[in-house]
Each structure stands twice: as structure tokens, then as C-alpha cells.
């Protein structure tokens, strides 16, 4: 099929946070002819939260890939990429650099390419994978991935120099890459009637450390108990991570001052629609601490430090995440 002369703008997202950042990018860059491309994964909760966000904002066209939340399928991916390749694009925004994202970025005709945040993974990507000064070593899996896509006439190699950033993080650019700060102005401007939280509630954001085998559940519960004691006599609303399993072990934490509440949408939206400025938002190294610090600059944001000795894995990653937290986020060692 012959391409048209009309240029579109493509937003590729795979998570609720990526979709929030795509919305911010759309309004910051004042783009028109916007195509939102949602790549679903196996998480039904992920898809549910994105679907709620879709209904709140207007796009010229929405394309959903893998809507049935199945595992990755190469032939379906190829058909999907070739369909998007029929258009010309001015801006391409991608929420991460998974296999299909790299194939899309490498294959479509675009003028500018920007990476939007998917939490703190942006820091890792910029430091290692997208640093043009670091020589990249291709693993066997990467070679196989690129070869499989090339069999179908799809390029799957990424040049770091082609990536720019629309990010909430303070990143120093390599060479000529553009770093544009995301201050979440659209979200803040659309929730202006924010009152004061008279109850001084603490919003504690859970993390899926147990599920990724970074920490024993018993140890994680002990940390939550220490946090409850830290905020003694204050009401705490605990929002589990969307992939966190709230087991029976959490029952011993529940009382009139500790309430567990599952969010049906991204925590940023959940807290904004309450109509009050939170007094305290806390977690460990959740990327939501960064976004919420931008959205609620007057709120006290606190990060509780997990000792390296208590971690089963990810010690270096956790150390890096704590180190790169905004200096205005208060770190607390229990």
C-alpha cells in the first residue's frame, strides 16, 4: 500500500504510567493527527487501568494490539508493525524498548523519536543501553530476535543517537540528544480545585518485591509494621502495587488506622480525583514517588530504605534507585 503525504504522530504505550506520559507529551508538543497504539501484555489489571484512562482523553485513532492479553506472537507482531509502517510520522513516542518497540522505532518513517518514562527504567536505559559511548554487546537472544524480524523484511536494530527524551528525571544529554522535562502540567492544570487533606492521611504505596523474589514476604511485612509504627496514630491507606498479591499475611496489619485499598486506576489519577492535596505519600523506591512529587510539589514525599542484607536480589539496582531519587524526597532508614 502506498504511503500518504500526511504525517501522523504515534504514541506506543504498554502500561498505565506510559499512557499518562503519552497524554502529557501530546499536550506538551501540541501534536495533531495522534494515533495511540496500546500494546497489551498478559496483565489484565494493566489493561483495565489503561482502558479507564482511554475514556478520559481524546485521540484521533486508537489501535490496540494483543487485546486478549496473550503471550507474544511473532506473526501477529509482524502484521501489526507492517500496518503501522504504511504511515509517515512526525513524532514517535515510545514508553519502553521491548522487542516490538525497537522493531517499530527502527522500521517506521519518522522525523523525531522520543522515549517517555516507564518509571525508573528510563535511568537504566539512558545510562547503559542508549549511551552511544558504550560499546554494545549483542547476546544470542538479541541476534535471534533481529534475525526473525528481518526474515519478514522488518529492521530491528536501534541507533542510540536517534532517541530523545521526554522525562520527569534530570538527565544530562549525551552528544546531540534532546532532553525535555515532563512537569505533568496537563494533569495539574486539569485538577486545579485541590483542597487540603484535613485528616492528614498517609498514602503508602506498596511494591511487588515479593513477587519478583527481591525479598521474603515475612521481611516485607515486618517493614510495613515498622512503617505503621513510624506513623503511629496516623491513618494509613495502603495501595498495593498492581502486580502485588495481598495474601493472608497482610491481615495482621489491618486495623482502624491501616486500610488496604486496591486502586482501579493509576495512583496519580486516584489521588488527583480525591480533590485534596495529600499530606504524606510514602513508599520504598516506587517510580510513583517521582511522578507524585511533580504533581503534588507541596506534599511530603518519603522513601523508606530497605537494607541490602534484607534483599534476596536486586541489591545493585535498589542502590542505584535510591541514589537517583530526587533530593527533595526524604529518605528514612528504619
| Grid coordinates of 116 | 517517555
pLDDT band at 213 (very low <50, low <70, confident <90, very high): very high
3-class SS letters over the chain: CCCCCCEEEEEEECCHHHHHHHHHHHHHCCCCCEEEEEECCCCHHHHHHHHHHHCCCCCCEEEEECCCCCCCCHHHHHHHHHHHCCCEEEEEEECCCCHHHHHHHHHCEEEEEEEECECEHHHHHHHHHCCCCCCCCCCHHHHHHHHHHHCCCCCCCCCHHHCEEEECCCCCCCCCCCEEECCCHHHHHHCCCCEECCCCCEEEECCCCCCCCCCCHHHHHHHHHHHHHHCCCCCEEEECCCCCCCCHHHHHHCECCEEECCCCCCHHHHHHCCCEECCEEEECCCCHHHHHHHHCCCCEEEEEECCHHHCCCCHHHHHHHHHCCCCCCEEEEC
The CA distances from residue 180 to 29, 115, 117, 260, in Å, are 10, 10, 12, 36
Question: Above pLDDT 70, what percent of the chain?
Answer: 95
Nearest to 209 by CA among 296, 70, 310, 120: 310
Rounded to two decimals, the pTM is 0.87
What CATH topology corresponds to 191-333?
Rossmann fold (3.40.50)
pLDDT value at residue 326: 82
Q: What is the pLDDT of residue 4?
A: 58
Query: With 60 as the cut, is the pLDDT of residue 3 above it?
Result: no
Average of per-residue pLDDT across 174-193: 86
pLDDT above 60: residue 272:
yes
- Average pLDDT over the chain, rounded to whole? 88
CATH of 7-188, one of 3.40.50, 1.10.1660, 3.90.220, 2.60.120: 3.40.50
Structural domain spans, the chain: 7-188, 191-333
Tell me, what's the pLDDT at 211? 94
Which of 1-5, 78-82, 219-223, 308-312 is least confident? 1-5
Checking if the pLDDT of 274 tops 90, the result is no
* pLDDT at residue 168 tops 60: yes
pLDDT in tens, 123-156: 888 887 777 777 666 667 777 777 888 888 888 8
Lowest mean pLDDT among 22-31, 69-78, 190-199, 300-309: 190-199
Whether residue 96 is predicted with pLDDT greater than 70 in this model: the reply is yes
Segment 105-119 mean pLDDT = 92
Same fold, 7-188 and 191-333: yes
Q: Residue 1 pLDDT > 80, yes or no?
A: no
Amino acid at each position: 500500500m502506498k504511503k500518504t503525504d500526511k504525517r501522523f504522530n504515534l504514541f506506543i504505550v504498554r502500561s498505565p504510567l506510559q499512557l499518562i506520559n503519552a497524554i502529557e507529551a501530546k499536550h506538551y508538543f501540541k501534536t495533531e493527527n495522534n494515533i495511540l497504539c496500546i500494546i497489551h501484555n498478559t496483565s489484565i489489571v494493566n489493561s483495565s487501568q489503561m482502558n479507564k484512562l482511554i475514556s478520559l482523553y481524546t485521540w484521533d485513532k486508537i489501535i490496540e494490539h494483543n487485546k486478549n492479553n496473550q503471550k507474544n506472537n511473532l506473526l501477529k507482531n509482524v502484521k501489526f508493525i507492517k500496518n503501522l509502517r504504511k504511515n509517515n510520522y512526525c513524532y514517535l513516542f515510545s514508553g519502553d524498548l521491548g522487542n516490538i518497540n525497537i522493531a517499530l522505532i527502527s522500521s517506521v518513517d519518522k522525523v523525531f523519536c522520543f522515549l517517555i518514562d516507564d518509571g525508573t527504567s528510563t535511568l537504566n536505559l539512558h545510562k547503559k543501553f542508549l549511551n552511544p559511548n558504550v560499546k554494545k554487546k549483542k547476546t544470542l537472544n538479541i541476534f535471534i530476535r533481529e534475525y526473525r524480524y528481518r526474515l519478514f523484511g522488518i529492521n530491528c536494530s536501534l541507533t542510540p543517537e536517534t532517541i530523545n527524551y521526554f522525562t520527569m528525571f534530570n538527565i544530562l544529554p549525551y552528544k546531540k540528544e534532546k532532553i525535555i522535562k515532563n512537569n505533568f502540567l496537563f494533569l495539574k492544570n486539569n485538577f486545579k480545585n485541590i483542597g487540603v487533606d484535613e485528616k492528614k492521611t498517609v498514602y503508602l504505596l506498596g511494591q511487588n518485591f515479593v513477587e519478583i523474589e527481591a525479598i521474603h514476604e515475612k521481611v516485607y511485612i515486618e517493614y510495613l509494621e515498622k512503617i505503621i509504627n513510624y506513623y503511629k496514630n496516623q491513618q494509613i491507606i495502603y495501595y498495593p502495587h498492581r502486580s502485588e498479591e495481598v495474601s493472608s499475611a497482610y491481615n495482621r496489619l489491618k486495623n482502624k488506622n491501616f486500610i488496604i485499598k486496591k486502586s482501579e486506576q493509576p495512583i496519580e489519577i486516584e489521588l488527583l480525583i480525591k480533590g485534596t492535596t495529600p499530606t504524606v505519600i510514602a513508599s520504598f523506591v516506587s517510580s510513583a514517588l517521582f511522578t507524585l512529587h511533580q504533581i503534588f510539589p507541596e506534599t511530603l514525599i518519603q522513601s523508606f530504605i530497605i537494607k541490602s542484607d534484607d534483599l534476596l536480589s536486586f541489591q545493585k539496582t535498589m542502590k542505584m534507585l535510591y541514589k537517583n531519587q530526587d533530593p527533595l524526597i526524604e529518605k528514612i532508614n528504619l
